[in-house]
Amino acid sequence: MNRSGIYLLLGGLLLAFAAEAQTDSVERRPGIYFPQAPKPGQWRRSMGVTFTVAPPELTEELRISIPAADFNIQRGLGRHLYLVGRVQSQLVQSSGTIGIRYALPLSKRFFVSVGDDMNGWYGFLKIKNVFDSYAVGLQNYPNVSIGFRPASDLQYTLKAEAILDLYYRSAAGGLDVEQRGSSRNGYAFTFVLEQPYYHKRHVSVGIRAAYTRFNWQFWALYSTFDKRLFYPELLFNFIH
């Protein structure tokens, strides 16, 4: 694992172990981003949409906002341990993520979690006799989340994650490019509000700010920039 990812995980583990003395009597509330484990055996689900805006360096005067269907699922494994999964899909590209979290309450209002996610993505563009290309990739996201619950029905989450590239391959016509090995792509911060909105149903609303050399949703632009660019992303999900 890249050094920045190791530091991020170690920092999260220190926060988690420092909170071990806290009791687990704090009430669990519906949430996908908030760092609190579901009860053992319990499922959490959400569905919604994200909108990611292309950096002006890639599209110049044209501003492109790409929507994606967004599905999340979680499964409680123990008092503090749980699995997470996520699928994002568009017409010509999709992404799947699976990971694990360890979450602890620091107090009745503050919570913390540390985790690691593996992400695989693919995309294709095919127009008969005109264009034929595809790309696949594998990434790793070590992450730490801090949650704040000022009221029983209101939850704020700040999540930090390193973005590490593990594998990339693309083909267009007769050109085939393949890259192997871990490399530091960038990092991202996500801020999310989760609260009830109607008949005890809950919603997640937030923004993710990624600063990376590559974003899978824009693979078809074949960026030649060897520098990190800013990718803002809006998040909206209904929690079931």
Residue 41: which CATH number? 2.40.160.20
Q: Report long-range pairs for 117-120 (Cβ below 8 Å, ≥24 apart).
A: 117/84, 117/86, 117/141, 117/143, 117/161, 119/95, 120/95, 120/96
At 85-111, the pLDDT tens digits run 999 998 889 999 999 999 999 998 999
pLDDT at 199: 74
pLDDT at 8: 59
Instruction: Provide mean pLDDT across the span 143-162.
Output: 95
81 against 133, higher pLDDT: 81
Structure tokens at 200: 């005890």
Question: Is the confidence at residue 162, as pLDDT, over 50?
Answer: yes
The confidence band for 144, taking pLDDT boundaries of 50, 70 and 90, is: very high
- 15: phi then psi, degrees, rounded to nearest 5: -65, -40
145: containing domain: 3-239
At 25-66, the pLDDT tens digits run 677 888 999 999 999 999 999 999 999 998 888 777 677 788
At 168-224, the pLDDT tens digits run 998 877 778 888 888 899 999 999 999 998 877 899 999 999 999 888 888 877 666
pLDDT at 73: 97
For residue 1, give the 3-state DSSP assignment. Answer: coil
Question: Is the confidence at residue 24, as pLDDT, over 60?
Answer: no
pLDDT at 86: 98
Number of structural domains found in the chain = 1
